[in-house]
Amino acid sequence: MPRRPPRPPPLQAEFDEEERDAVLAANRAFYRAFNERDVDAMEHLWAPGGAMVCLHPGQAPLHTRADIMASWRGILRHPEAPGVRCIDEWVIGRAGLAIVVCREVLTGGQLMATNSFVRLGNGWRMVGHHAGPVPSIERARPAPAVPATPAVPRDRRKLH
């Protein structure tokens, strides 16, 4: 956001509408990275270091950036990774920390995710992702089409 004036340090800043929009933009960027299979964007989106946690459905928790990124590389490079659409975002935030709870409409089902973000000098970065299955709701439109992938043998590795 190059046209914005310099911000005060996070602890003095309020969590205003502008910050809320910035958190929602970060959350959308997360799902865009997923849909576009963009490993670099996913790498950038997560905080560069420090404490973080990633909970893929039914899998053991991941607590290091290295493990979390390895899991996302596996998902994004998987030939049968589903498309995902994020709806029903619910946001709560304070200066420097925000949580987005949202519904993930996948090709083969629906999850709810709790995504956590911290505000660093260069914007909101993810520090937490917790996703788990929920009953599907009908009003959800289908997830976006999955990018064309080459014909490959069916891969049974676990997906997001």
Number of DSSP helices (H) and strands (E) in the chain, helices first: 3, 5
69 near a second copy, judged by CB under 8 A: no
- Residue closer to a second copy by CB (options 107, 116) is 116
Phi, psi of 76 (to 5 degrees): -70, -25
Determine whether 154 is exposed, middle or buried from the number of CB atoms within 10 Å of its CB (0-12, 13-18, 19+). exposed
Of positions 74, 83, 96, 144, contacts a second copy by CB under 8 A:
96
Number of residues in contact with a second copy under rule CB under 8 A: 37
How many C-beta neighbours within 10 Å does residue 50 have?
10
Of positions 31, 85, 93, 124, contacts a second copy by CB under 8 A:
93
> Binding pattern to a second copy, positions 104-123, x when CB under 8 A?
--------x-x-x-x-----
Closest contact distance (angstroms) between CB of 60 and a second copy is 5
64 near a second copy, judged by CB under 8 A: no
Which window, 38-46, 55-63, 79-87, 140-148, contacts a second copy (CB under 8 A)?
A: 55-63
Closest contact distance (angstroms) between CB of 147 and a second copy is 28
What are the residues whose beta carbons fall under 8 Å from the beta carbon of 156, sequence distance 6 or more?
none
Residue from 91, 77, 113 nearest 15 by CA: 91
